[in-house]
């Protein structure tokens, strides 16, 4: 989360990884929760990669602050695209855990496998879904690739899928936002702001 001099009222972070995402997240779930509260966020989603291991710690900390915690997980697909699933309710939470188990059972220990072709996405019917794209993936994130993923996700999830707008003060932010807006208009997948958070503060 970027240092902020004043609270950001009304914002909910929908895509945050803790140190339970090995070699990706840098902060403990408790630190992410405390920082979200300090920034005045209305809610925080903990979305570790194919894992809900940090949710207990995050839940305990969120109760202290009265912060709404959104349980979820992230799944990396091909071409630098990630699918972020946020459970709506207890049924969604249980099915998300089942989806994680299934994804890990078909891969070697410590790994998982998720693709549009091979997984039972019906398990995510009680979840909200975000598509997030990693722009550091060289040559893979084209307008055509973004649109193709949106079309596939829209067919599977209908109105429950969103296209995450994650801008990091890069030189290409304006162009990237324009591409996302075009893909949204073309496919009918609406845009939503997210941060792709990997740490609670810069040091």
Instruction: Kindly report, residue by residue over 84-101, the tens digit of the pLDDT.
Output: 999 999 999 999 999 999
Q: In a 10 Å sphere around its CB, with 0-12 CB exposed, 13-18 middle and 19+ buried, how is residue 166 labelled?
A: buried
Q: Is the four-CA dihedral 25, 26, 27, 32 of positive or negative sign?
A: negative
Mean pLDDT over the full length of the chain: 93
Q: Which residues of 135-158 are buried (b: 16+ CB within 10 A; e: fewer)?
A: eeeeeebeeebbbbbbebbbebbe
Q: Is the four-CA dihedral 110, 116, 117, 119 of positive or negative sign?
A: positive
Query: What pLDDT, on the 0 to 100 scale, is given for residue 5?
Result: 47
Confidence of residue 10 (pLDDT cuts 50, 70, 90): confident
Query: In this model, does residue 137 exceed pLDDT 70?
Result: yes
Instruction: Kindly report, residue by residue over 44-65, the tens digit of the pLDDT.
Output: 999 999 999 999 999 999 999 9
Query: In this model, does residue 139 exceed pLDDT 90?
Result: no
User: Of 6-10, 19-23, 88-92, 113-117, where does mean pLDDT reach its minimum?
Assistant: 6-10
Average pLDDT, integer, range 27-32? 98
Domain 12-193: CATH superfamily is Metal-dependent hydrolases (3.20.20.140)
Query: What pLDDT, on the 0 to 100 scale, is given for residue 2?
Result: 45
Residue ranges covered by each domain of the chain:
12-193
Average pLDDT, integer, range 106-134? 96
Confidence of residue 79 (pLDDT cuts 50, 70, 90): confident
pTM for the model: 0.93
Query: What pLDDT, on the 0 to 100 scale, is given for residue 6?
Result: 54
The shares of helix, strand and coil residues in the chain, as percent rounded to the nearest 5, are: 35, 20, 45
Query: What pLDDT, on the 0 to 100 scale, is given for residue 3?
Result: 46
Query: What pLDDT, on the 0 to 100 scale, is given for residue 203?
Result: 65
Of residues 165 and 9, the one with the higher pLDDT is 165
- What contacts 201, CB < 8 A, 6 or more positions away? 1, 3, 27, 31, 35
User: Of 73-77, 92-96, 157-161, 167-171, where does mean pLDDT reach its minimum?
Assistant: 167-171
> What is the CA angle 127-130-135, rounded to 5?
155
Confidence of residue 202 (pLDDT cuts 50, 70, 90): confident
């Amino acid at each position: 989360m970027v240092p902020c001099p004043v609270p950001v009222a009304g914002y909910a972070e929908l895509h945050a990884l803790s140190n339970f995402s090995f070699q990706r997240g840098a902060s403990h779930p408790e630190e992410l929760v405390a920082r979200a509260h300090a920034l005045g966020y209305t809610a925080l989603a903990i979305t570790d990669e194919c894992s809900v291991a940090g949710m207990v710690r995050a839940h305990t900390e969120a109760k202290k602050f009265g912060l709404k915690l959104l349980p979820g997980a992230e799944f990396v697909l091909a071409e630098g695209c990630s699918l972020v699933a946020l459970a709506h309710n207890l049924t969604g939470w249980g099915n998300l855990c089942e989806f994680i188990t299934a994804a890990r059972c078909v891969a070697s220990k410590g790994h998982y496998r998720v693709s549009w072709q091979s997984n039972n996405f019906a398990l995510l019917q009680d979840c909200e879904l975000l598509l997030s794209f990693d722009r550091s993936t060289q040559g893979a994130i084209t307008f055509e690739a973004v649109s193709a993923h949106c079309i596939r996700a829209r067919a599977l999830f209908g109105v429950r899928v969103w296209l995450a707008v994650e801008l990091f003060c890069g030189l290409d932010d304006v162009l990237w936002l324009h591409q996302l807006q075009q893909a949204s208009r073309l496919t009918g997948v609406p845009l939503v702001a997210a941060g792709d958070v990997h740490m609670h503060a810069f040091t």
